[in-house]
Structure 1
Amino acid sequence: MITVLAGGTGSVKLVRGLASVSKEITAVCNVGDNIWLYGLYVCPDIDTITYGLAGLLDQKRGWGIRGDTFSFIRQMEAMGQPAWFALGDRDLATHVYRTEMLRRKKSLTEITGAITEMLGVGQKILPATDDEVETVISTPKGAMHLQEFWVKNGARPAVTGVTFRGADSARPTRQVVDAIRNSEKIIMAPANPVSSIGPMLAIPGVRRELERAREKVIAVSPIIGGGPVSGPAAKYMNALGLEVSPAGVARYYKDVAGSLVIARTDSKMAGRIELLGMKVETTDIMMKGRRGEARLAMYLAGMARN
């Protein structure tokens, strides 16, 4: 069994690739992006992984449901309500269902399992915790929920800090602990290390389990050369005093990952990373199309068997 710590768009590609080469995949998903909007509990990273495995994901946008319509959000805008977070109409049904089940005292883990079953997803998708964790971005304009920073403000403000509200008191579920303990390998997807993987590492119980399992944890760098493949990772890493490079990623992960997979073009950094006590593997980490996803997945699955 392979467990993947998953965040956003880089994660769904790898999870989908791994699902194409192995039947026993568990995705443990970031919940720091979750947000209450319009009275609904929205879980962007969980839903992106779910839609990706269900074959519903909008590939162009990298989120939401392919071919969705947006009548709801346009009507909200016409009524003078905030419309910066574009929920699609079909996507909206997921959030309505989730929120209703939360009101019925179902856990986020139970709800996620029900949604994946309804959508025909065979792989396990687990929230990292059933407790609420919120990624907060500190800026000169004030503290913002990650979605406000990234979506509403287009990641334009300078970043002075990143915190994970609620993480200190959050607890991993028994399912997450079992997945980490029972997996042959744990793979940290090439997601934003600070905002996608960081909220999970900030949960003490998750970090403790990963530290114990460190030798079987394989991280994939989301940085090639001096910049991220996509997203605002550079701003977040700079705010935490991390070098924006695979070596900076290694420093962030060194206590919880025994190996780091980097791009071949970054092989010159291998020595610096090895000084942190991590093994280094080099390969083509770009996932272009389904073939690219499957190729990297097969490479990592091979590492898992060794």
Structure 2
Amino acid sequence: MIAIIAGGTGSVKLVRGLARLQDAAVIANVGDNIWLHGLYVCPDVDTVVYGLGGMLDEERGWGVKGDTFSFLDQAKKSGVDAWFALGDRDLAMHVLRTQMLARGRTLTQVTAHFAKAYGIRSRILPASDDETFTIISTDAGDMHLQEFWVKNACRPKVKGVRYSGIKSARATSQVLDAIKSADRIVIAPGNPVSSIGPTLAIKGVKKALARRRKDVVAVSPLIGRQAVSGPAVKYMATLGIEASPAGVAEFYSDVAGSVVIDSRDAGTSARIRRLGVEVHETNITMRTRSDEVRLGRYLLRKSAN
């Protein structure tokens, strides 16, 4: 069994590739969860569900393919500032999740319900059942990650990033068991600060990963000094993390014994090894389903060496 630390749209492709090859437990980021219109929305969890369930809108990288937005249009006509694109089919997930949570079920239990309903064999595990929210401090004030990313299109200047509620958040027993029992643990190529960082900050996770460090491999989300997708570079700079594969390796060095970088970044390999991190070089770009499986096979092959 392989455990995958996942978050953001950059992770789901590798998650799909690995899940086709081996039993997988996907530990999904909950830092971008948000309450909207009275509903508990879990974008990263849902992206994994939709991706493994064959429902993901591939063009956007999130939401349900073929979805419509009649609810959103009507809300806007009613004077609501409906800035977050909740599709009509997507709403079913959020409405039912909110109802089940109100009846006392945990987020882990609710997610397992949807995975079973959609015929997903892999286990999808929210990193925590507790609420924690990624907050971006900007020159326009503090705002939830989704407000910064979606509502404000990353325009405000970032001054800092923090995880609200992180001190009281605890990793679930299912997450810790998955890390402990996995043959190999992969940190997917999500944004280190906003997609992976919140999971690492949850009490219990980093310690569990550090114990398995030699079995943990992180896949770089950067090629050169550019993110494959998303605002990773902007967030990394704010926290003083060098925007390079070497910076990524250093960020994960306490928990990952090896890192996979793009072949074009081979010039940084010696520097990464000096951090005490082994490095593997390959094509990390995933444009097709074949690419997803190719990279997944590469990771599994390296883990067997």
Please confirm whether the aligned pair reaches a TM-score higher than 0.5, indicating the same fold: yes
The equivalent of 1:112 in structure 2 is 111
Q: Which residue of 2 aligns with 1:83?
A: 82
* 1:242 aligned partner: 241
1:261-280 correspondence runs (5 A): 261-280=260-279
Structure 1 position 61 matched with structure 2 position 74: no
- Separation in structure 2 between the aligned mates of residue 168 and residue 274 of structure 1, nearest angstrom: 33
Correspondence 1:90-129 to 2 at 5 A: 90-129=89-128
**Cα displacement (A) at 1:213:** 1.0
Shift of 1:61: 0.6
Aligned counterpart, 1:17: 17
Matched, 1:220 2:202: no
TM-score (norm 1): 0.99
1:167 Cα deviation from its structure 2 partner: 1.4
Normalising by structure 2, what TM-score? 0.99
How big is the shift at 1:305?
A: 2.2
1:100-141 Cα distance to aligned partner (Å, 9 max, x none): 001001000000000111111111000000000100001011
What secondary structure does 1:56 align onto? coil
Residue 250 of structure 1 and its aligned partner are, at CA, apart by 1.0
Match of 1:41, SS state, is: strand
**Structure 1: which amino acid aligns with 2:151?**
K
> Which residue pairs with 2:291 in the alignment?
292
Instruction: Work out the CA distance in 1 between the residues paired with 2:144 and 2:8.
Output: 16
Q: Which amino acid aligns with 1:219?
A: A
Equivalent residues, number = 305
Report how far residue 204 of structure 1 moved: 2.4
Task: Give the counterpart letter for 1:56 in structure 2.
Answer: M
Extract structure 1 runs of 4+ deviating beyond 2 A: none
Q: Judge conservation of contact 1:262–1:281 (CA < 8 Å) in 2.
A: yes
Kindly report which structure 2 residues correspond to 1:249-268, keeping only aligned pairs within 5 A, or say none: 249-268=248-267
Q: Deviations over 1:211-253 (max 9, x none)?
A: 1111100000001001101100011000001111001111111
Matched, 1:203 2:202: yes
Q: Is the partner of 1:85 in helix, strand or coil?
A: coil
**Are positions 1:194 and 2:193 aligned together?**
yes
Q: What does 1:161-180 correspond to in 2, within 5 Å?
A: 161-180=160-179
Q: What secondary structure, in the 3-state scheme, does the structure 2 residue paired with 1:59 have? A: coil
Asked if the contact 1:158–1:235 (Cα under 8 Å) also holds between the matched residues in 2, the reply is no
For 2:287, give the aligned amino acid.
K
Q: Which runs of 5+ in 2 are unaligned?
A: none
SS at match of 1:32: coil
Give, in whole Å, the separation in 2 of the partners of 1:271 and 1:158: 34
Q: Tell me the equivalent position of 2:304.
A: 305
Letter paired with 1:57: L
Report the AA paired with residue 38 of structure 2.
Answer: G
Distance in structure 2 (CA, Å) of the matches to 1:77 and 1:215 = 51
Name the residue aligned to 1:154: 153
Separation (CA, whole Å) in 1 of partners of 2:191 and 2:239 = 13
Other-structure match for 1:185: 184
Match of 2:34 in 1: 35
Partner of 1:132: 131
Q: In the TM superposition, what is the alpha-carbon distance from 1:304 to its structure 2 partner? A: 2.4
Give the RMSD, CA atoms, in angstroms.
0.7
Which consecutive unaligned segments of at least 5 residues does structure 1 have?
A: none
Secondary structure of residue in 2 paired with 1:204: coil
> What secondary structure sits across from 2:74 in the alignment?
helix
Residue 10 of structure 1 aligns to a residue whose secondary structure is coil
How far the C-alpha of 1:301 sits from its partner, in A, is 1.2
Q: What's the offset of the Cα at 1:300?
A: 0.6
Tell me how far apart the structure 1 counterparts of residues 146 and 9 of structure 2 sit (CA, whole Å).
Answer: 15
CA-to-aligned-CA distance 1:129-168 (integer Å, 9 cap, x gap): 0000100001011111000000000011111111111112
Question: 1 CA distance for matches of 2:89 and 2:5?
Answer: 26
How far did residue 272 of structure 1 move?
1.2
Q: Distance in 2 between matches of 1:4 and 1:60?
A: 23
Distance 2:210 2:88 in 1: 41
